[in-house]
Every structure is written in structure tokens, then in C-alpha cells.
Amino acid sequence: MLRYAASRLILVIPTVLGMVTIAFFTLRALPGDPAIAILGEFATEQALQDLRVALGLDQPLWVQFGRFVRGLVAGDLGRSAITRQPAMREVMSVLPPSLMLAGCSVLIAILAGLPIGMVSALRQGSWVDYLLMVVTISGISFPVFWIGLIMIVLFAHTIKLFPAVGAGSPGDLLSQAHAMVLPAIVLAAGGTAYIARLTRSAMLEILRQDYMLVAKAMGIRERRILWYGLRNALPPILGVIGVTFAVAIGNAILVEVVFSRPGLGSLIIKATFSRDYQLLQAGLLVLSISVVLVNLVLDLLYPLVDPRVRR
Amino acid sequence: MTTSATADAAPSPSLWIRLRRTPYLRHRGLMTGVVLTVLFVLVALLGPLLAPHDPLTTNLRNALAPPGADYLLGTDRFGRDVFSRLLFGARASLLVALSVGAISLTCGVIIGTAAGFAGGWTDRILLGLINILLAFPGFLLALAFVAVRGSSLGNVIAAVAIAYTPRVAIVMRAVVMTIRPRQFIEASYAIGVPTLRIVWKHVLPNSLPPVIVVATVSAAFAVLAEAGLSFLGLGVQPPAPTWGNVITEGRPFLVSHPWISLSAGASIAAAVTGLNLLGDGVRDTLDPFLRNQTSTNIFK
Amino acid sequence: MAFGTRLKGLGALVGLVLAATAAQPPAALDGAGGAALAQQAPGSVLRIRIGSDVTSFDPHRPSTIENTSFSVHVYDGLFGYNLRTMTIEPRLVREYSVSEDGLTYTFHLREGVQFHRNFGELTAEDVKFSYERVLNPATASPWRADLRAIASITTEGKYTVVIRLSAPNANFLHALTSRNQALILSKRAIEQMGNDWALNPVGTGAYMFEAWRPGERVVLRANPNYFRGRSPIDRVELMLIPEETSAEIALLNREIDVFFALQSPEIIQRLQARSGVTVDSRPALISCHLVLNNTVRPLNDVRVRRAMAHAVNRESLVRDFFRGTKVLTATPLTPEYQEYTTEVPQYPYDPARARALLAEAGLAGGFDFHYVTVALAPYDQFPVAVAEDLKAVGIRVRLTVMERAAYGAARAAGTIPSATTCPSNSPNPDTLLRALVHSDGFPPGVNTARYNGADELLNAAQRERDPAKRVDLYRQAQRQIMTDVPLIPLYADRLFTARHNGVEGVLTSAAFWVESYGATVRR
């Protein structure tokens, strides 16, 4: 168990290093001139050159990379071009609302996806199964921002149940929770569908196992059998929660824009439109690393639900 | 479980023979997926012939007309025919879906096969790279890529392909790992068949179904990602008709003229559902486990 | 309508202020509000929607309408516009005098005005410091040119500032009133806090900065010691809601109280039809233009520019696209300026005439035109319609929508073949014309047409101290400009602000900002 945890922890380091490297080279080293992409086709040669110097693009790539890594180790990802504040500080200040939103949506996805998947599996082939699968396939087929727009019209405009914008009043937890409901549900649509489909196939697989047939034959109560089934289906489901979270973090950008919520999404969009390179890079890295860390936590939880790993 | 036993013992029959043997025509999901996907492709190819109006010509006098005989889905704020814009928009979506599907399939298969066959350090390094790329949230990576490299259809395709190639690669590698120890592969090695030939003759045909499923899913994701980037203003620039642009242009009229955004959203959903059902259906009908399970559900 | 008042001529204006100063004790000098401030229940909050985030609390640095809306809540100038009448009225100044030769201005400040958060009393040093900060090239203030007339600033005692000009300037009081260069900062706060000052703004205004939640809202709290009397509202929140449909729903649900700067004509019409909601509108000092780069072929041919002006159906743009929420203008000025005139060459919609002019210029087969605009509503939308009009007379248009930063850089570089430029302006016509069509405004300014044909008329107008002659010179300048059509004026803007009926007294400026001092709110 300890060895397992240690091996997981150690694996995080090369992953993060790799991500940093890939983020750096994807954004900088591919053919094409970021300076032109940033300043547009009408920029003067002087302006392009100034920007290249400002971003260090005039240096050889390995020098740039060295400088970047050195800054990173010191927790310094440069300064935002607009606010002149350290990019890292800006990103960290809006990280909590984004993680909160993604976390809530994953929670909803688990709480809704598990029962839907189990019911589908138990009633396989029935109209209930069919209906639930149609609903869940819509969950991954409609654009999340479009679902958000429709939800605003339905539940903030037509029926005035939830606020259309913002994240609630500062310091007022109740209003913040109230404002969280719609965006979290919208963001959860994809994850719910994903977990429901996975639960369904995991349960079907387990229900087919010989020991389940034996249990059934021995006359053990259905509810108890179901409980065994769920316990055995949990490891693969826990395995996809990390993916669900990663997808939620990506889609949170769209949902935050739709609901005018503060967070990394709005920050990344703002950085994108004002071509704030350092801020964009910091946002991408912090979000991606948070995904890695959440996966690490899930990995460490894995032995709790899967006895085979414990050994 | 007899099917799995035979599959292990001898080379599996070809994809076509298996498809013919399966009750795929009776699989409702697969059929729906095929119909939707064919429709999507036909609309994209024939759109310009079917479109009653030019998707770009504005007519301010006729702005925001309701759906009717002349304008099937009404007009947008510039008086452009929404129906024609959707027909033309299908092309951008199909192009993105096909390109991403093809790129991720090709690159993923090559990387996955190389990792699976080479083993040792090559495998470890490639697997590490794949896992690192997988750790990035796909849409975020695409967004950052487009943000830095400019918003064009080509960059959108490249961005989504980068995000999805590792997903194909990791499946391909897993398939190769399970096929490689089988007897017929070992036997081929023993009689001196070159590796590339083994890959071509035995590994690829056997690995295609699961890999195609993943590539289909990545094509579906590509359609959504293109729409999402267009929605943020980072996709194909207006006035070009894409489904994402039509949703965005219809956003101020969601309450008063909802058909603009609704029809574009429905088009996206239809195309993506089609691709997803197609992928699911292929997996269901080609996977012997799932095919037989109906009879073994103990709660029926 | 209360906002219909024309801008007063400058001569009349100075007289008005002086008369007021002489006749009344300083305490009664306040414009809106003052003794007339309404009562309001404690703990009241006013939520105002803004369309993009406040990016800087430093008023002297590059600014947006949101930044300015923030600044006018937190800072004061020596003078301010009465937003109901757009006349200049004293704020931090008690009284002032101008020397005979028009070169020396002496300002006596109000005594006892306190900066926020115990940064002490406002003194002449703060005024000198603030203006010099704008003038310092290191500040990179976009408003530096507005104070360029200043030759020297000296202080006499604690409350007197003497400003000497290098030449008589009929617009000088406007320069100390309009826009952000007029706002006074605390010298002590900036010197003490250094870089941190940018996130902890200190002013003398009706509201104190409390918190900034990036991407969401800026929170302001009433200044209990405000020299014009404490605001009836305890807290003002500037809420960031970019999307207008969401803001509309939020207003109907009373999640916000004021919907500032509505653009979408459809939403304006919808809200106007609602009970419980009032849509205020006022003419704005913003005009929108398709600026053509006059230095590149074939746009350097005036016949081609005239042909393009005839090709664009501006009536239809204003009537059908904007649904009457904008107004037509015949010159770069808006009809709100006293100096505005329609006695200029006009270019009515006439595709046949446009084709004929193109043929005359040897371009019967049309030409390739690169139409560049910015990704910001509505500037990324109406050009689609304009481009179609140009295509109809055979001009092959390529429309490029650039992201905001790239667009700004391209325009500043001056390499842009065409631009969609909509400068927001002060009531001083010189500011607008100098920026748009004077060689002073060449890139990095917004005169990307590189047009200088009206330079002499504009210079003469600025020197002229006789109001009637000045107006005449500005009219001559407009005739010259519209003869040469370096740019195509598309429309003049109106500012729309919606509020639910529980809100009273929120004021908007013709230069696109919102003020809430003196407002009240009931939920």
C-alpha cells in the first residue's frame, strides 16, 4: 500500500515536467511565428521584433526553455501584459471558483450517473434503458455552452428559479450555492452521461459473472447482490472520475463564459483576446497540473475500493 | 464465452466477414448512427446544391424573419437564410471531423503500434509522452493552441488532432499488447515473417475495430470543439457559416427568435450523436462479449 | 427630453461658472445632489452591469469606458460636467481666475477635502503632482496631448495652483474637465505604496474602492466624508456581464439594477416594451467611421473614396440593422456638437453613381478591398452589412475581424488598409477632429487615413477666442473633410441604459460612462 502510494507520487514529477515541456514547445516551437499570431498580419517589422525581444523569442530555443524552467522552479511564470501583476498570482486568485465549479459538477455526475447506469443495466433492453441511454447520449452530443444557453432561458428567464449570471454575492454562501446550481448541472451533463454509460457496462459485465449467478441461485437477496455488484463495479468507475474532471475543467471555460462567472475560464479568454501570452501559459499550466493532482488523489484512493491493489 | 476462446486460437476472420455475421442490421443504435452520419455527410457534400439562398448575402430589410416557405428556418439579423447557413456550415464541421478522425487514426495507430511492438525503452518513453498529453484537458489544449497560433480552420483541426491522437495511440498500444503474445504471431515470427508484414497482415485487421471506435469519438469531439471555439470567437471567423458561428450569432435572439440557435445546436447534436452511436454500435456488434450478454442478464 | 440640451459654447460656459462662483457660497456649488440628496435605507446596494472587466484602476493609463466608469466613482477633478446639461461646474476648485492675456489660470481649491483611507487632505501639491504625472512620458498616458498646452504648474500655499500656458487655448477648461487626465490622485498614496498603488486606488470621490473580484465585479463603498455629501447608496457593485442576453435576464430578475451601455437593438426594443423597466437613452459623443488608408492605391484616389461613400446604404444600416438606435451623421462630428453642420458634400446611397465614379477612376472592373474591423460587438457585426453594400458595386471585399489587442497594434502601426474607428469623445470638438483627421493623430494615433487636409483650419479654430468665429472655422473644416472623404462616417452613437423602476438618479455621460452619485434604489 505504501509502496503503491510512493510510486504514484513519484510518477507525478515526470508527468508535470513533461506537461511543462510540452506546453512550452506546443505554444512556442512549432513552425510559425507567435509574434505574427499575436500582433496580426499588419504589424510592422519593428513591432514584431520588439515583441520577440519582450517574450524572449529572439533567443535560441534552448535558452528560452532554460529561462522558462528556471522561472517555473521559482514559481514565476512572468508578468501579465495587461495588469503587470505576476501571472501566477493572477491565476491562483481565480483558481478556487473554477475548481469549485468543476468539483461540484463531478459530484453531480457521480451522484446522477451511478444510479442511471445501474437502472439501465438492471433493465437492459427495456424502454427505461433505451430512454436513459438516449438521454445520456444527448448529454455528450449537445455542445455544453448550448445546453447552458437553453438552461438560462428556461430556468432563469421563463421560470425564474436561478440567477442568470455571476457567482453570488461576496460573503453570502447561500447565494453562492444558489448561483452554482445551474452551471454545475450544465457542466455535469457530459460527465453524467459518461459515468452512466460506464456504470451500465461495468454492471452488465459483473452481472454476467459466474459468482453472481451462483449468488442468485443461492437465493441471496437481490438488493444484497446489487451491493456486491456495485462494489465490484466501483474501481473502473473511480478510474474515469479523473477523466471526467479533466473534461469538466476544459468545459468549465465555456460554462463560465455562458454564465458570466469569474474563474480561470474568463481569465484564459481575457488573456487570449488581449494576447496576454504569459497569463495564458500560466492558466494552461495551473489548470493542467490541477488535473494531474486530482488524478493523483484518485489514484491514492484506488486501493480503498479495489482490494487487489492493496497488496 | 466460446467466441473468445476461438479468437485466441486462430487468426480472427476479417472485419468484413465478422460484420456480415453480426446482427448489425438489428442493432437500433448502430442503424441510427449510420443514418445520421450518412445524412451528415450527404448534407455537407450536397449542401451548396440544396441551399435555397446564398449563405453570405445580407438583406437587412428582411432581418430576423420567422421560419416560413421562403426561409425554412427564418433569417438572422443580417437577413441571411439560416437554413442555407446550416447547410454550408455542415461542410466546416465535416471537414473538421474527417480530418481529425483521419489524423488521429493515422498518427495514433503508428505511435501505438510502435510502442506496443518495440517494447522496452521506446515503449516506456512513448507511453510516458502519451500519458502526459492525456493529462491535459483536451479542450483547454486546443484553446491554448488556437490562441497562440491564430484562429483558422487548419489550426482548429491541428489543435483537436493533437489532443486526440494520444487517445487513439493508447488504445492501439493496448490492442497490440494483447495480440502480440498470441500463438499465430509467435508462429509468424518463428518462420521469419518481417515485423512490418506481421503488423499489416495480422495486427492491423485485429486492432481496427476498437481503434476506429476511438477515432469516431475523436471526430465527434472535434465537431463539438470546433463549435466551442467558434462560440468563444476563436474558430473560423465570421461571416463564414459554421454551426458554432450560427449559435453565437443567434445568441442575442434566444428569447425572441430561438429557432436560429436551436436549429444550429440541433444540427451539431445530430451529427455528434450519429458519430457516437456509430462508434458504440461498431463496438457492440464486433465485440463478442457484449453481443452475447443479453442472454446472461440474471435480473431479467 | 432633459438630455436634448445642446453643448454650450465655451465662452458662455466660462461666464456661467464665474457667475455661479461669485453669487453663491462654495458649499452650494454642487451640481446634481448636494443638499438635494435623497434618503435611502442603510445597507443599500446598487448593481451596475458593465460589459467588460475593469482592467486598471489608474485613471491616467490607457482606459476603457468601464475603467472610466470606475474612475469617476472614486476620483474627482477640479471641474466636472453636469451630466444633465453637459456644462462645466466646479468640483475640487472653489474659485478660479484667468489672466487678461489668457495665459495664466489661478485655481483656489476647496479646503478640507479628504482623500480616502486617511491619506490626508487634498492640497495644491496633489493637483500639481497629478497633472505632471499625465504629462510625464513615462506614464504613457493616452491623454497627455490634452494637457500639452501647459507650460508650467506652480503652487502658492496649500490651496492655490497656478498654471501657465504656452499659448492661449480656448479649450483649456475642457482639458481640466473631460476624461481621465482631469482626475486628481493622492501624491502621498502613490509615493507610499509604489507599485501596489495600482491595486489600491485612493481618491477623493463619492465612493471608496473596496474589492476587485477579477472576471466578476468591483465593489465600491460610500465615502462617509465626501465633500458633496455622503452618497445615499452604501455600496455600488460594477458587475461584469459581457453577454447582453444574460444581462437582460439579470435585469428582469433584478440581479442587477442598471444595465449600462446596451448595444443590441433587439434587446433595447424588448426592454422598452417591458413594464417595470425603463430604458434611458441619450445622444453620445461617439461617431463610427470606416477609415480608409489614403496612402494606398486605389484608395488614394478621391473618386474611389467618394464611390465607396455612395455605395454604402447608411440609411438602411441605421434603420434596419440598428433599428433606429443610432443616428446618421454627415461629418466626423455627431449632430450633438454645436459646431456640427450638414452644409457639407453629402453622399447619398446611389450604387449607380458609385459604379460611375469607379469607372471614371479606371476601376470599372472593381478592385480588391481589405476591410478590417475589431472583434467587439457591434463592430464585428455591422461591417458584414457594409461589406455587402460594397460588393454590390463590384468592390471585392475581404473582411477581417481582428482580436482586440492585435487590432489595436495594427492600428497603432498605421499599416492597416482600413479600420473601423469609433472614438469616444469629450464635448470639445477639437479632441475628436484632432485625433481622427489631423496630422497630430497620425499613427500611433487613430488617423490611419493619414489625412492632413484640414490641419490649418483646425489649428486656426483652436487659437480663435471668439466663439462665433471658432464655430465657423470648425464648420469650414468639416466641409473640407467631407470634400476629401478620407473616411466614411457611418453613424453617430446613442447611449442606452436600462434600469428597473426602483432606480432613480443614475446618470450617464455623453462620453459613455456611468455615475451613480445621488442615485437611489428600491428593490
Model confidence pLDDT, tens digit, residues B34-90: 999 999 999 999 988 888 888 888 888 788 888 888 888 988 888 889 999 999 999
Q: Does B256 touch chain C (CB under 8 A)?
A: yes
**What are the chain C neighbours of B254 within 8 Å (beta carbons)?**
245
Residue B25 lies in a domain: no
**Average model confidence (pLDDT) across chain A:** 82
Establish if C196 touches chain A: CB-CB under 8 angstroms.
no
CA dihedral B15, B18, B22, B27 (to 10 degrees): -10
Provide the pLDDT confidence category of residue B8 given band limits of 50, 70 and 90: very low
Grid coordinates given for B67: 421560419
User: Number of folded domains in chain B?
Assistant: 1
Instruction: Provide the pLDDT for residue B104.
Output: 92
| Residues C270, B78: C-beta atoms closer than 8 Å | no
Q: In chain B, which residue's Cα lies nearest the Cα of C265? A: B252
Given a cut of 70, is residue A79 above it in pLDDT? yes
Grid look-up 444574460 returns C246
- pLDDT tier for residue A307 given thresholds of 50, 70 and 90: low
Chain C residues with CB-CB distance to B77 below 8 A: 266, 321, 381
Q: What residue of A is the nearest CA neighbor of B272?
A: A141
- Interface test with chain B among A10, A17, A138, A141, by most B beta carbons within 10 Å: A141
In-domain check, residue B255: yes
* Closest in A165, A272, A274 to C250, CB measured: A165
Give the integer Cα–Cα distance in Å for A138 and A156.
Answer: 22
Grid coordinates representing C4?
Answer: 436634448
Q: How many angstroms separate the CA atoms of C25 and C228, rounded? A: 13
For chain C positions 380-439, those within 8 Å of chain A (CB to CB) are 400, 402-407, 409-410, 413, 415-417
| pLDDT, position C416 | 87
Are A165 and C247 an interchain contact pair (Cβ–Cβ within 8 Å)?
A: yes
Residue B90 CB partners (closer than 8 Å, separation 6+): B40, B43, B44, B47, B243, B267, B271
**B300 has a pLDDT exceeding 70:** no
Separation CA B16–CA C182 (nearest Å) = 79
CB pairs under 8 A between B and C: 46
Q: Cβ contact (<8 Å) for A22 and B244?
A: no
Per-domain boundaries in chain A: 11-74, 99-273
A32 closest CA partner among A44, A41, A23: A41
Q: Are B211 and B109 in contact (CB under 8 A)?
A: yes
**Rounded Cα–Cα distance for residues C336 and C495 (Å):** 13
Chain C residues lying within 8 Å of A47, measured CB to CB? 409, 413
Partner-chain residue, chosen from B137, B262, B265, that has the shortest CB–CB distance to A246: B137
* pLDDT band for position A199 (cuts 50, 70, 90): confident
Check B61 against C321: CB less than 8 A apart.
no
State the smallest CA–CA distance between residue B55 and chain C in angstroms: 12
Secondary structure class of C493 (helix, strand, coil): strand
Q: Return residues 2-61 of B near C (CB < 8 Å).
A: 56-58, 60-61
Q: What is the helix (H) or strand (E) element at residue B181, kind and residue range?
A: none
Least confident of A115-119, A139-143, A223-227, B122-126: A223-227
CB contact under 8 A, C320 and B61: yes
Q: How far is B211 from chain C (nearest CA, A)?
A: 38
**How far is the alpha carbon of B46 from chain C, nearest alpha carbon, in Å?**
25
Could you list the beta-strand ranges (E) of C13-170: 45-50, 79-82, 87-90, 93-98, 104-109, 150-156, 160-165
Contact A251/B129, CB-based, under 8 Å? no
Alpha helices in C418-498 (DSSP H): 429-437, 455-463, 467-484
Contact between chains at A157 and B255 (C-beta distance less than 8 A)? yes
Q: Tell me: the pLDDT tens digits for C318-339?
A: 998 898 999 999 999 999 888 9
Q: Residue A39 has what pLDDT?
A: 65
Nearest residue in chain C measured CA to CA from A153: C249
B124: domain CATH number is 1.10.3720.10
pLDDT the model gives residue C28 = 32
Most confident of A255-259, B140-144, B170-174: A255-259
Cα distance between the two ends of chain C: 26
* Chain A partners within 8 Å of B231 (Cβ): 143, 145, 254, 257
Instruction: Please name the helix (run of DSSP H) or strand (run of DSSP E) that holds residue C237, with its range, or none.
Output: strand C235-240
Per-residue pLDDT, C20: 34
Point out the residue among C53, C245, C409 whose CB comes nearest to the CB of A47: C409
Domains detected in chain C: 17-241+501-521 (3.40.190.10), 284-494 (3.10.105.10)
Q: Chains with ≥3 Cβ pairs under 8 A against A?
A: B, C
Distances B10 to B7, B120, B199, B210 between C-alpha atoms, Å: 6, 27, 16, 19
Instruction: Give the number of beta-carbon pairs within 8 Å between A and B.
Output: 167
Q: What letter represents residue A19's amino acid?
A: M
Distance from CA of C317 to the nearest CA of A (A): 28
Distance from CA of C462 to the nearest CA of B (A): 42
- Asked, for residue B67, whether it belongs to a domain, the answer is yes
**How far is the C-alpha of A195 from the C-alpha of C43, rounded, in Å?**
46
Contact A22 B133 (CB under 8 A): yes
* Beta-strand runs (E) in chain A: none
Fold of A99-273: MetI-like fold (1.10.3720)
The residue segments making up the domain with residue B117 are: 46-287
What cell numbers appear for B42 in the block? 450527404
| C-alpha cell recorded at residue C189 | 498614496
Of A5-19, B90-104, B285-299, the range with the lowest mean pLDDT is B285-299
Bridge partners of residue C87, in order along the sequence: C82
Does B288 sit behind a cis peptide bond, omega within 30 degrees of 0 on the bond before it?
no
Question: Which chain B residues contact residue C403 at CB under 8 A?
Answer: 233
Task: Give chain C positions within 8 Å (CB) of A274.
Answer: 404-405
CB nearest to C246's CB, from A39, A82, A260 = A260
Which of C217, C240, C402 is facing A40, going by the closest CB pair?
C402
- Say if B38 falls within a structural domain: no
pLDDT at A102: 93
Interface contact B231, partner C, CB < 8 A: no
ipTM above 0.95, yes or no: no
- pTM confidence score: 0.81
Q: Which of A140-154, A197-211, B128-142, C9-23 has the highest mean pLDDT?
A: A140-154
Task: Say whether residue C138 is in contact with chain A using an 8 A CB cutoff.
Answer: no
> Which residues in B lie closer than 8 A to residue C270 (C-beta atoms)?
255-256
Per-residue pLDDT at A31: 55
Q: Who wins on pLDDT, A81 or B136?
A: B136
Is-contact B270 B117, C-beta < 8 A?
A: no
Confidence of residue A92 (pLDDT cuts 50, 70, 90): confident
| CA of B191 vs chain A CAs: smallest distance (Å) | 39
Long-range Cβ contacts of C223-230 (<8 Å, 24+ apart): C223/C116, C225/C114, C227/C110, C227/C112, C227/C113, C227/C114, C228/C30, C228/C33, C228/C34, C228/C517, C229/C30, C229/C33, C229/C34, C229/C35, C229/C37, C230/C37
Query: Does the pLDDT value for residue A218 go beyond 60?
Result: yes
C-alpha–C-alpha distance, residues B187 and B148, integer Å:
51
Tell me which H or E stretch contains B292.
helix B288-292
C neighbour chains, 3+ CB pairs within 8 Å: A, B
Neighbours of C489 (CB within 10 A): 25
Domain membership of residue B29 (yes or no) is: no
Residues in chain B: 300
Report CB contact under 8 Å: B147, A280: yes
CB atoms C321 and B60 under 8 Å: yes
pLDDT in tens, chain C (523 residues): 333 333 333 333 333 333 333 333 333 333 344 445 666 667 789 999 998 888 778 888 766 778 888 999 999 999 988 877 778 889 999 999 999 888 999 999 999 999 999 899 999 999 999 999 989 888 777 777 778 889 999 999 999 999 999 888 877 888 888 778 889 999 999 999 877 787 889 999 999 999 888 778 899 999 999 999 999 899 999 998 888 888 999 999 999 999 998 888 889 998 999 989 999 998 888 899 999 999 998 999 999 999 999 999 999 999 988 989 999 999 999 998 889 999 999 999 999 999 999 999 999 888 999 999 987 778 888 998 999 999 999 999 988 888 777 787 778 778 889 999 888 777 788 888 988 999 888 877 788 999 999 999 998 988 887 889 999 999 999 999 999 999 999 999 999 999 999 998 888 887 778 888 888 888 7
CB contact under 8 A, A38 and C215: no
C384 vs B contacts (CB less than 8 Å):
58, 78, 238-239
Cα–Cα dist A123/A134, whole Å: 14
Residue A173 CB partners (closer than 8 Å, separation 6+): none
Handedness of CA B99, B102, B104, B107 (dihedral sign): negative
Q: For residue A294, which of A56, A150, A103 has the smallest C-alpha distance?
A: A103
Q: Which of B57, B252, B254 is facing C388, going by the closest CB pair?
A: B57
Q: Which one-letter DSSP state was computed for residue C486?
A: S
Nearest CA in chain A to B145: A27
| Cross-chain CB nearest to B255 (options C245, C317, C384) | C245
